Amino acid sequence: MNITTASFAAFMLIVILGYRLLSARFRNIWLFVACLGFLITWSWEFVGILLILGTVNYILGRWIGEAKEGRKRILWIGIAFNVFTLLIFKYSDFYLPELTSFLARIGIEKGGGGIQLLMPIGLSFTTVQLISYLADIHNRIVLPEKRWLKFILYILYFPKLLSGPIERARVFLPKLDQPQPLSAESIARNFTLMVIGLTRKLLFADVLNALIPSAAFVQPLTYSAQLLLTWLLAYAFVIYNDFAGYTNIARGVSGLLGIELSSNFNTPYFSRSIAEFWERWHISLSNWLRDYIFFPLSRLLRKKFPHPDHIINFILPPLVTMLVSGMWHGLAFSLLLWGGLHGAYLIVERIPTLFAPKVLMDERPKWRQAMATLFTFSLVLLAWLPFRMDPVTAKRYFAGIILPSHWLKPDFLWMSEVFKGHLPVGDVYGWNIPDPRIFLVLLPAILLDWTQFRHKNELIFLKWPRWAQAALLALVTLGLFLASFADSAAPFVYQGF
Amino acid sequence: MANVKFSNRDVIESSAKKHPIGFGYTLLQAFAFLVVFIALLEGIARISFISNLLPYQSLGSWHYQFDLKWFRLKQYVANNGGVDVILLGNSLVDTGFDPDVVTQTYYEKTGLQLRVFNFGIDGLTVYPSSINAKLLVETYHPALLIFVTEMRDYDATNGIRTEEKLLSDTWMQYQLGYFNPRGWIIAHSVALQHFLPYRNWMRADFPSTFAACLQTYHTTSLTGYEPDNGVMKEVVAPDPNNLAGNPYFDSNQPYQVDPSRLESLQSILDLARDNGPQIVVVEMPVHPVFFEYAGGETVHKAFQEKIAETVRAGGGIFLPAIDEVTIPLQGRSNLTHLNRRGAPILSAYLGGQLAALTNQEGMMFVNKQKGDSQP
């Protein structure tokens, strides 16, 4: 069940109504049933896998919490179990062909179709949540949850199941016992969040995604530089609006249940440095990486190399953290490259602080802040290349943009002949004119972010006069309605992770 | 990295506190705005001056040619007060029959004026054609329905995707009696019908596909005929020992008439009941080499007999394909389709056959009163 569909809206309404009408004793049972129902619409096998995963971690959590000795060993067993589960499912492409051929050689596998494993939805998100849960119990930050049902809800909770946000148990679990009451204010906030989410996903991300020809990321050198740059720009807004859109919808749905989820995005493309970008992009994952990779690794290294500016302390923590981030997205060289690039950005960005005291960005002139924003965005844009395609194609794409010979003169004559009806439309990319439809969509997408960024408030629309809110809502509803007639809808990009 | 603060610094404040009450009122106001927007758009779309400026309407169907023909027929009926004869079938019909020639020939031989429309749609086999036939008869009440057929209509493996896509469209489902809100809105909103040709505006290939739709729109005549400019250069006969890659039939099994498809033909014939239209089934005169791909002339003859028998039993009239020498090679664009040279020959033949049925059998195809076939 995709969360942008009418069937999900109906499901959500039933769940919220039931949750709000039931007494506190039965609410979590109702939520559990709803989560199972949601999960079964994807695959009943997922229910079994996630229940087993959750139960094992529930037992491990209690074991760590009650153990007098060997707590660290149990923690490592738990981490290994979770990572192993993730590896089994997520990276099956790497080992299954070998395993199948080995089994065929010894005569066990004769089907011919090979072994196939379907990764449970949201497993990457679930795994990191479980690791943090066990680590937090070990570090005595949180007590192990005694109620199995409540703990399982931490794993199966349907608004965050598909693509997060990655919630900490210590923050999420108490909310299950004390959901916020439904008020006019919370309805307004969460409804607005959902509308913004749907707008981001259906009016920005899906539309921009459809405007990029599939061949662009396969054979980039067949297009001129200006087209490649436009499509890369469009892709940057596809991935952002797709994921941010999902998060907004998830937060809105959860908010109506009275369980607030963390914000995952904060206008990241207005960041003035890569460090700031990671404070604004996929915040829940960034925080997880900081707390469970960056800080522990930094502490470990500082024991061996006490000087904070030692080259090892300087390079390894950000690089390893970002490489882990890349691996979390998938075990592909291109994703490692994406993570490595961001790691390198962070390291290089810090070099000036070795020689001069750091000047806060807010204290710098506005024009320098604007330049820094533009520069940071360019670096992020560049890094999306290996995120989207294999390294060889990414290299070609980069060459296609950077080489002056690929900047071809727009063929207005050809275009005008087509408009006059003298020539068939044929290959419009041969005109070498960036697709104006992309800019038509980018403009409102940027405007939305700019409005939120300028006011430091993602729900700024609720401060508008009532008639303006109503008019905007009516327009967005009409836009969503019309967009629903397009022949296909794209799945969420991060659902694949 | 040490200076990286991963904290969510710009914590997003809740601004909804400014409006602790009245969000429901905002929703109501938004709904009112929406109603006003829609009413305005609908009003504007229904102004004929504006409507004429917009290229064409659509039903959001997967098959844009179906939409095009549906609205063209609607326009035809509005302009002519009704329709007497509807030609039905696949692309062979679309490019093979010029209704103006049929009308002219029929008029010359009977002195009667027929109103003929070509509803041939690319890729349609007998099953979706039977659904179309039902819709057209219920909506326009023609006096005669001519179903033009050929061997592939009854091949169980042919045209399945087109069939599934076309028949699962929301508007089609609504028309077939399965109520759904989207189908209802498409059927009743002129503004939406004007928007739907652009519904895929965000697709990378939209400029070329839209241009192709526009071209079809402009080349299709007001009577639904789409001339084909292609000319068949040479006839390539298949290697009887190697039919792999057969472009027309499934080469893995011998050709046979699928019983369920024959039932679809029967359902077309059944439309004649209860004062329905007369049904004529015409076999399309494809090039004889085409039959070699199906297994040879014997297989064709068996097919022809089966269809003729079904049509006769169903109370219809079957007109077998005219002799292939009647249509020269220059009148074909390939083994199956006729081009703008061949179509008038076949159309004149059909007009003549209809005239013969009127003159010799006393069959009348003109709706008795003008406007009878108005929807």
Instruction: Give A100-125 pLDDT, tens digit per residue.
Output: 777 777 776 655 555 555 666 788 99
In the predicted model, what is the mean pLDDT of residues B145-151?
95
Question: Which domains, from first to last, does chain B contain?
Answer: 54-361 (3.40.50.1110)
Strand ranges (DSSP E) for B15-168?
85-89, 116-120, 144-149
The pLDDT, as a whole number, for residue B8 is: 38
The pLDDT, as a whole number, for residue B325 is: 61
- C-alpha B76/C-alpha B224 separation (Å) is 9
For A200-214, A483-497, B66-80, which range has the lowest pLDDT when averaged over its residues?
Answer: A483-497
**A362 pLDDT higher than 90:** no
Query: Is A486 within 8 Å of B200 when comparing Cβ atoms?
Result: yes
Nearest residue on chain B to A183, judged by CA atoms?
Answer: B20
The DSSP call for residue A22 is: S
What's the token pair of residue A68? Answer: 């007098």
Give the residue, A497 or A157, on which the prediction is more confident. A157
Contacts of A206 (CB under 8 A, 6+ apart): A242, A483, A486, A489, A490, B202
Instruction: Give A283-336 pLDDT, tens digit per residue.
Output: 999 999 999 999 999 999 999 998 888 889 999 999 999 999 999 998 889 999
Cβ-Cβ contacts under 8 Å between A and B: the total is 165
What's the token pair of residue B261? Answer: 């498809």
pTM of the model: 0.84
Contacts of B199 (CB under 8 A, 6+ apart): A482, A485, A486, A487, B58, B60
Please name which of A414, A450, A454 lies closest in space to residue A430, comparing C-alpha atoms. A414
Query: Is A474 within 8 Å of B30 when comparing Cβ atoms?
Result: yes
The pLDDT, as a whole number, for residue B15 is: 42
In the predicted model, what is the mean pLDDT of residues B157-177?
88
Which candidate from B14, B25, B34 shows the least CB-CB separation from A474? Answer: B34
- C-alpha A12/C-alpha A33 separation (Å) is 13
In the predicted model, what is the mean pLDDT of residues A338-362?
90
In the predicted model, what is the mean pLDDT of residues A240-256?
96
Chain B residues whose beta carbon lies within 8 Å of the beta carbon of residue A278: 4, 6
Instruction: Give B99-125 pLDDT, tens digit per residue.
Output: 999 999 999 999 999 999 999 999 999
Nearest residue on chain B to A454, judged by CA atoms?
Answer: B10
The pLDDT, as a whole number, for residue A496 is: 52
Chain B residues whose beta carbon lies within 8 Å of the beta carbon of residue A477: 30, 34
The pLDDT, as a whole number, for residue A156 is: 93
- C-alpha A358/C-alpha A354 separation (Å) is 9
Query: Is B1 within 8 Å of A486 when comparing Cβ atoms?
Result: no
Chain A residues whose beta carbon lies within 8 Å of the beta carbon of residue B219: none
- Contact status, residue B15 vs residue A458, Cβ threshold 8 Å: no
- C-alpha A371/C-alpha A466 separation (Å) is 37
Query: Is A263 within 8 Å of B38 when comparing Cβ atoms?
Result: no
The pLDDT, as a whole number, for residue B4 is: 40
Q: Given pLDDT bands bounded at 50, 70 and 90, which one contains residue B64?
A: confident
The pLDDT, as a whole number, for residue A489 is: 55
Tokens 């204010």: give the residue: A185
In the predicted model, what is the mean pLDDT of residues A196-213?
94
- Contact status, residue A235 vs residue A382, Cβ threshold 8 Å: no
Please name which of B352, B357, B366, B280 lies closest in space to residue B84, comparing C-alpha atoms. B366
The pLDDT, as a whole number, for residue A43 is: 83
Across B138-147, B236-245, B362-371, the highest mean pLDDT is recorded for B138-147
- C-alpha A217/C-alpha A231 separation (Å) is 9
Q: How far is the alpha carbon of A325 from chain B, nearest alpha carbon, in Å?
A: 14
For A52-56, A119-123, A391-395, B184-188, which range has the lowest pLDDT when averaged over its residues?
Answer: A119-123
The pLDDT, as a whole number, for residue B253 is: 75
Query: Is A466 within 8 Å of B26 when comparing Cβ atoms?
Result: yes
What are the distances in angstroms from CA B216 to CA A419, A486, B58, B86, B211? 17, 21, 13, 20, 9
Contacts of A434 (CB under 8 A, 6+ apart): A226, A227, A229, A230
What's the token pair of residue A240? Answer: 């952002």
Give the residue, A177 or A492, on which the prediction is more confident. A177
SS3 B330: helix
Helix B126-140 vs helix B160-168: angle between axes, to the nearest 10 degrees? 30
Percent of chain A with pLDDT over 70: 94
Please name which of A168, A172, A121 lies closest in space to residue A150, comparing C-alpha atoms. A172
The whole-chain average pLDDT of chain B stands at: 87
Q: How far is the alpha carbon of A472 from chain B, nearest alpha carbon, in Å?
A: 8
Phi, psi of A398 (to 5 degrees): -60, -45
Query: Is A485 within 8 Å of B195 when comparing Cβ atoms?
Result: yes
The pLDDT, as a whole number, for residue B244 is: 64
What are the distances in angstroms from CA A17 to CA A34, A88, B140? 12, 38, 48
The pLDDT, as a whole number, for residue B275 is: 81
Q: Given pLDDT bands bounded at 50, 70 and 90, which one contains residue B9?
A: very low
Percent of chain B with pLDDT over 70: 90
In the predicted model, what is the mean pLDDT of residues B271-281?
90
Nearest residue on chain A to B12, judged by CA atoms?
Answer: A457
Q: Given pLDDT bands bounded at 50, 70 and 90, which one contains residue B11?
A: very low
Instruction: Give B192-202 pLDDT, tens digit per residue.
Output: 999 999 999 98
Helix and strand numbers (H, E) in chain B are 15, 5
Chain A residues whose beta carbon lies within 8 Å of the beta carbon of residue B202: 206-208, 210-211, 437, 441, 486
Q: Given pLDDT bands bounded at 50, 70 and 90, which one contains residue B207?
A: confident
Write the ipTM.
Answer: 0.81
- DSSP notation for B352-365: HHHHHHHHHH----
- Contact status, residue B163 vs residue B127, Cβ threshold 8 Å: yes
Give the residue, A38 or A420, on which the prediction is more confident. A38
Contacts of A306 (CB under 8 A, 6+ apart): none
Query: Is A474 within 8 Å of B207 when comparing Cβ atoms?
Result: no
Query: Is B5 within 8 Å of A279 when comparing Cβ atoms?
Result: yes
Query: Is A470 within 8 Å of B14 when comparing Cβ atoms?
Result: no
Angle among Cα A285, A290, A291 to the nearest 5 degrees reads 100
- Contact status, residue A339 vs residue A387, Cβ threshold 8 Å: no
Chain B residues whose beta carbon lies within 8 Å of the beta carbon of residue A428: 207-208
**A129 pLDDT higher than 60:** yes
In total, chain B counts a number of residues equal to 375
Best of B3, B202, B209 to disrupt the A interface by mutation (most A CBs within 10 Å)? B202
In the predicted model, what is the mean pLDDT of residues A426-439?
87
In total, chain A counts a number of residues equal to 497
Q: Given pLDDT bands bounded at 50, 70 and 90, which one contains residue B370?
A: very low
Phi, psi of B148 (to 5 degrees): -95, 125
Spans of all domains in chain A: 6-177, 184-265+409-496, 269-404
Nearest residue on chain A to B38, judged by CA atoms?
Answer: A478
The pLDDT, as a whole number, for residue B10 is: 39
The pLDDT, as a whole number, for residue A372 is: 95
In the predicted model, what is the mean pLDDT of residues A431-438?
91
Best of B6, B13, B25 to disrupt the A interface by mutation (most A CBs within 10 Å)? B6
In the predicted model, what is the mean pLDDT of residues A267-280?
96
Query: Which residue stretches of A199-224 are H helix?
Result: 206-211
In the predicted model, what is the mean pLDDT of residues B298-327?
89
